Chains A and B, each alone.
Chain A
Amino acid sequence: MNVLLPGDLRQALDMLSGDGSGAIPIAGGTDLLVHWPQHSEAHARTYLDLSALSELRPVTWTDDELILGGLTTFWDIVQDPRAAVEFPLLREAGRQVGAVQIQARGTWAGNVVNASPAADGVPVLMAYDATLVLESSQGSETAALSDFYVGYKEMKRRPDQLITQIRLPRREHTFQRFFKVGSRRAQAIAKVGLAVVNSKAGWRVVAGSMAPTVCRCPSIEALLESGALIEAPEDLLSAVRSDVSPIDDIRSSAHYREHVMARLLFSEVFKSGQLPR
């Protein structure tokens, strides 16, 4: 197995565009190392260790953005009092990732590029309209997170690029909720994940574990924008089905997922009495 150990971001990007072309970046390792000894095919690859790139760890606040670094961990945000006030869903979702041992290592950017449809961190980032900054030795590009995934585990990241920032616009959020439905509260992978945010920019409804990628739900968003009267969870099913395409798998069934999503939306969002009219 080959491991590249860059000491800073510049070196890391040079490696990715040179000798280390095609190397797999590793941040917290909480996805890549699961059952590691048995995964001999993974041992044949080349990895680029990001752990020494301390410049990517801090969180910064500007007048209009919260900027997570490429190596900001879940725990960094869970215990950040300022983020808890302005972006409470980050803390709520972050503290539902595995348990503390995972939160201490796992990074938000790693959650994005691991690209699991069941990611806990991605729905809330997407509901807050996150923009990714992707850097390579050629320069830097930005991509809206809601537009970043193109298929199951496929995304608009070139192999020579690293996510160096996740930028969240600071807005007044008039409604914000995150729901994770799993078999138990800790150490569970979501059967259904849902992040719902309203601000001057409009409603954002983002579903996890409901499609090949975490995704926005434009039909549900349109219903919320229109203020349509919804009288029962079943009234939401056709919008749910036009937005997502869940499957039967080891964790749940498509039927259960659709119905849980419709019921959550009905009882916790449409019926919450907090909808601005």
Chain B
Amino acid sequence: MRRRWIAPSAVVWLVVAAAFFLIPLIATLLFSLRSIQTNKCCSGAAYSLIVHDHQFWSTIRLSFQLALETIAISLLLFVPTVYWVHLKLPRLRPVLSLMALVPFVVPPIVLVVGLLNLYKGAPSWFYDKPYGFLATAYVILAFPYMFFALDAGFRSIDLHTLTEASQSLGAGWGTTLTRVILPNIRVAALGGSFLTLAIVMGEFTIASLSAFKTFPPYIQVVNESQPYEAAALSLLSFLIVWAAMLALVLVGRGRPRPAQVAATR
């Protein structure tokens, strides 16, 4: 049997890439382990202070809940829309793609000012609450990530044939979408959800300017006065986001890879 081997150039590139990602993390870890009193290594005091700070837990819980809400709204909004556009209105796809680029072009600071003015007379349960105003802003921010992920997913399956096969067997639109289409674009939906989670967990500008105490503004506050704790907080937030993504992966696992459906239309 032929032995598989890795080319030396590939090893070099792997080492360079690993260094690029790992060196800042290791440096942050070493910095966060310095003693608050002596400024020398190694002490877990910064971590102890952070995990005992109730604001850490409340802000991270809020950000996480907002992320889940944004993912849920985005999926509910975009899955049927992108499905319908692919199925019945393919000419609208370029229009949607263009619209999806708008959040990239409009800076968050402009977006938040615009949204604050737009919703100024809105009911307080929406305007004054993060689950209303902030979630709406985050759905807009996550639009390109969710749209392009779903768009790629829908393009990878033979949507017309699957839909027609489902309908010929007696399924209505709802059943077709939830039991046939959605399971087959699961990977794309998960991809969009990962990106949304990462964006919401790290979003600072909108949360800060609209005066909601989410996790990123909390990191910023800590960073101003407690450098070791801020480093510890960055690492913890990094680990938490990765753990959340891992949880999403695990939730989405358990079914075999869908086969590519031949598109012959």
A binds B: no
